[in-house]
Every structure is written in structure tokens, then in C-alpha cells.
Amino acid sequence: MIQEIIAFAILGIAVGFLVKKFFWKSKKKKDCGDGNCGCS
């Protein structure tokens, strides 16, 4: 029972991390338009 809760919690964290990484990635590019950030 506890193992299932832990497994679902880890799965939820992993899915949330992937969604954050791939879908909110475009917001960072807007802050890096002047060329002074050194990200290129």
C-alpha cells in the first residue's frame, strides 16, 4: 500500500518535471533576446 503511494508520487513528480521542462521552455527564450546573456 505504501509502496503504491510512493510510486504514484514519484511518477507525478517525474511527469510534472517533464511538463515543466518542455512546455515552459519557450518563456526562457524571451528573456534572452539582447545577446548579453551568453547562452548562444
Whole-number Å distance between alpha carbons of 23 and 8 = 22
Convert the pLDDT of each residue in 1-40 to its tens digit. 999 999 999 999 999 999 888 877 555 555 555 666 666 5
Note the pLDDT of residue 8.
Answer: 98
Whether the model clears a pTM of 0.85, i.e. scores above it, the answer is: no
Alpha carbon 18 to its chain's center: 5
